Structure 1
């Protein structure tokens, strides 16, 4: 692997992909992000600490070319594509990698013939950028659902169509589709995502690299044979498994050292927590160090009413007794009599002995009648809330702060705790406001959304390290063949 590889991060968000690629030895020459809120986090961590609002607003007023000289353009990719000066400079820089996660769910080969279909524009812009720059390699990341075929409508999946178009974009690319789960790469989170990793055709041919049209799944790797013959050459090797010394990391390992008031004097720390609390040398920090006695940044507790706090305790009870969270929706079901609702609740808790005692020793309900009254009082139509389990990886981190309940405390998770599940180090500080609501969710990208939308740095690092080795080997082989041809 070499430390001189240059990359560009499109749709960069707060910078999870950039951080992982930097750790893998890439130099991020440029990041492009249209949201000023997410871009402020990126700028603050990678370019220069934002000390006051005026400094950030002054940067936003700079031209696209001026911003690019600093390493971050706060604009749409469409705007970047209109700057010939910027693109010519990037082309001349011999970029090794263009990476990003354009929203692709609506992508289709008919996209360019239907310019009014907004869902198609962003991946086409990504491909246009690749064609203009002709990097040695490409990474595209997206949600796992992108693989689903639209056979009902006679269409292939956006994933398959995008793979086909990328393979013939510009100089052409050998493209490997893969489905990677973050927990297989040292992230304490069950997070399946799909990736397209492409190597420029001239380099792939130089080393005889083969790719498959079939998607490679990271769960096919085994701890018993690290050199799985069936693993495609562009796919990174899995590092964490379900058991043994390389087991999946858990919620406990991720956040057990974080208390309501900050860092806990907990010994021994999990290896993961120790890593998260270490200073990250790749980040630009205002103070240059992490004070381990202080409250970690972005660890701000949300306020909850007594009723909501009680409901969160109830979710923890449901988890401990393995009862479906749908129990709290029974009183809200239409078309049922009170008697029918009561019978459904009794059926759900059949076999439990009263009083019901919570993990903290308090009594949830002393009798079935009291329990039914409590269910009616705490009833909600919200189906996604659940309490996390300490001994399992976190479920997929999302952009809303109230979907998951802390495993031991009746509250939602802080931005810092969510960031731990994504493998962001504590030195990484999220900017802008914490959350938003209503129609503002369509346009604003607050801290929780920044975390939820990010590529986990550890996943990006695993892909980046493997790809850096591939690029280096292919470049050496390609240069050797070119020299031999010149001599001949």
Structure 2
């Protein structure tokens, strides 16, 4: 097998995609990330550990020219600036790059957009493709949210995903491209996270290994599900999780909860707590000596908010929708029992109403009705998580999920566990931000929510590593025979 299979990660964020590729056996050539906040996390985990009091090395790195940053493994700059570094691009093309991967924002992508410089919606996707065209890697991986595959038929245009697929097929000497709709929970993550992905092989490589695309969207499923239609496409990753063994919230974070009794961790939690395989050998021992688990600062809330969270937990446990609080809002603002609040409570809720931490909320429907009126709200974006199911898709806003057993929202580390980040992967910068700063800052919660789940990247990376290694072996054999 070849000694080194290289990759470049564009729009790298904190490094979830890179982490999975590293675990699959790829070697980082360099990553590109424009946010200095997200890039600091990448630098800390893949380039050089930053001390608890900060480290001048990262500040020095930021001051370097793009070519020097690339030589150290991380370019902190917009991709457009990298495209201007013609010497770097020429060097990459001459040396050869095995994989260019990333998740460029693509929701507004249009084949016509390249001819319209005023169309800012798809600049970044075109920049990604321009980089691919300039470097001509053997393989390409593009990841994005599942919604981008939907057609905008009312506007008379095809989905961004389909147009991006067409563009990738024609870039450079052409690519054999497999479109996929894949879910992180099918590949070992404790999270229901559907994503679309395009995986492409350069035409000469695809011919070398006999690769073919199925011609239609492949949907991942559990490993023990009955094969569907054309079965597994050549470029698709192999699911490794059976339906009855899907990783759950309990598997991921029970050992981090105040209610944990100290019993043996789940195999998933043990892996998250102990995995350091991706860390350079020279620094593994120092990482192992770190103190308390990083990024696990439990958030504090007012008594009123904690009471609402306990109510969410109780309603979720009994299978009752939190929208029942809307009736309380109407009753409080309009008077009376609009919407039948009292009757609904009596019909739907079992009493006494006791929160997971033992706090008794109500012993009768009338007491519950008072709480509903007190806590009533029109907003229902928050939800209590279930111990026995995978987490819903982790987002960048920390207030969406309520802990299953404690009256609080989730920590950065708990969400990172759902995403399948090992505990030794530390997130840098401020935890969260708000207001207009959301447009420019990428704090820890956003870094986690925007990341590709490492286990998903690992599965795709393993398949590509097999294909690229087989291609290199065939070429080496052919060269030996020709000599």
* Class of the TM-score when normalised by the shorter of the 2 chains: over 0.9
Structure 1 position 472 matched with structure 2 position 477 = no
Instruction: Choose 60-69 or 165-174, whichever is displaced more.
Output: 60-69
User: Which secondary structure does the structure 2 equivalent of 1:176 belong to?
Assistant: strand
Deviations along 1:153-205, whole A, 9 cap, x unmatched?
A: 11111000000000010111000000110000000000000100001111111
Cα distance, 1:56–1:480 mapped onto 2, change above 3 Å:
closer
RMSD: 2.3
**Residue 322 of structure 2 aligns with which residue?**
325
Partner Cα distance (2:458, 2:358) in 1:
43
Task: Give distance in 1, aligned partners of 2:351 and 2:232.
Answer: 53
Offset at residue 482 of structure 1 (A)? 7.2
Q: Is the 8 A contact 2:275 2:424 kept in 1?
A: yes
Alpha-carbon distance in structure 2 between the residues aligned to 1:226 and 1:213: 17
Distance 1:355 1:230, change over 3 A: closer
Q: Which residue of 1 aligns with 2:124?
A: 122
**Does 1:8 pair with 2:37?**
no
Contact 1:405 1:411 in 2 (8 A): yes
| Shift in Å, 1:117 | 1.5
Alignment of 1:184-203 (within 5 A): 184-203=186-205
Q: Of 370, 382, 407, which aligns to 1:373?
A: 370
How many Å separate the matches in 1 of 2:325 and 2:332?
A: 16
Q: Residues 17 and 455 of structure 1 are in contact (CA less than 8 Å); yes or no, is this contact kept in structure 2? A: yes
For the 8 Å contact 1:17–1:456, the answer to whether it is kept is yes
Aligned residue in 1 for 2:422: 425
Q: Report matched runs for 1:360-439 at 5 Å.
A: 360-439=357-436
What per-residue deviation string (whole Å, max 9, x for no partner) do you get for residues 90-133 of structure 1? 22221000000000000011111221111110000000000000
8 Å contact from structure 1 (residues 226, 237) kept in 2: no
What is the Cα deviation at residue 56 of structure 1? 2.3
Match of residue 239 from structure 1: 240
How far apart, CA to CA, are the structure 2 residues paired with 1:143 and 1:345?
41
2:274 to 266, 275, 278: 278
Residues 157 and 481 of structure 1: CA distance in aligned 2, closer, same or farther (over 3 Å): farther
How far apart, CA to CA, are the structure 1 residues paired with 2:81 and 2:413? 33
Contact 2:327 2:340 survives alignment (8 Å): no
1:156-175 equivalences under 5 Å are 156-175=158-177
Report SS of the residue matched to 1:463: helix
More displaced 10-residue stretch of structure 1: 30-39 or 299-308: 299-308
1:137/1:388 CA distance change after superposition, 3 Å: same
Partner of 2:248: 250
Are residues 1:36 and 2:36 paired?
Answer: yes
Shift of 1:227: 11
Q: Does structure 1 conserve the Cα–Cα contact (< 8 Å) formed by 2:296 and 2:412?
A: yes
Give the Cα separation in 2 of the matches to 1:136 and 1:80: 20
Matched residues in 2 for 1:349 and 1:215: separation? 47
Other-structure match for 1:49: 49
Q: 2:287 aligns with which of 268, 286, 289?
A: 289
- Where structure 1 has 5 or more consecutive residues not aligned to the other structure, the ranges are none
Q: Judging changes above 3 Å, is the alpha-carbon distance between structure 1 residues 480 and 167 closer, same or farther for their aligned structure 2 residues?
A: farther
Alignment partners' CA distance in 2, 1:253 and 1:260: 15
Quick one: which of 77, 89, 92 aligns to 1:90?
A: 92
Contact 1:3 1:27 in 2 (8 A): no
The match for 1:151 is 153
Partner of 2:143 in structure 1? 141
Alignment partner, residue 105 of structure 1:
107
SS state of the match for residue 289, structure 1?
helix
What is the SS of the residue equivalent to 1:370?
helix
Rounded to whole Å, the distance in 2 between the matches of 1:334 and 1:135 is: 62
Gaps of at least 5 residues in structure 2 are none
2:71 counterpart of 1:73? no
Shift of residue 231, structure 1, vs aligned partner: 1.1
**1:395/1:217 Cα in 2 relative to 1: closer, same or farther (>3 Å)?**
same
TM-superposed deviation, 1:325 = 1.4
Q: Is the 8 A contact 1:31 1:73 kept in 2?
A: yes
Distance in 1 separating the partners of 2:262 and 2:94: 52
Residues 189 and 453, structure 2, Cα contact 8 Å, conserved in 1: yes
Which range moved further: 334-343 or 383-392? 334-343
Alignment partners' CA distance in 2, 1:227 and 1:475: 32
Alpha-carbon distance in structure 2 between the residues aligned to 1:37 and 1:349: 50
| Aligned-residue offset at 1:61 | 1.4
Cα distance in 1 for residues equivalent to 2:284 and 2:476 = 43
More off after superposition, 6-15 vs 475-484 = 475-484
What is the CA–CA distance in structure 2 between the aligned matches of 1:442 and 1:171, rounded to whole Å? Answer: 37
> Structure 1 residues 349, 46: CA separation in 2 closer, same or farther (over 3 Å shift)?
farther
Q: Whole-Å Cα distance in 2 between the matches of residues 128 and 397 of structure 1?
A: 31
8 Å contact kept, 2:187–2:456: yes
Q: How does 1:174-185 map to 2 (within 5 A)?
A: 174-185=176-187
Counterpart Cα distance in 1 of 2:330 and 2:165: 44
Aligned partners of 1:150 and 1:157 also within 8 Å: yes
Q: Does 1:347 align with 2:348?
A: no
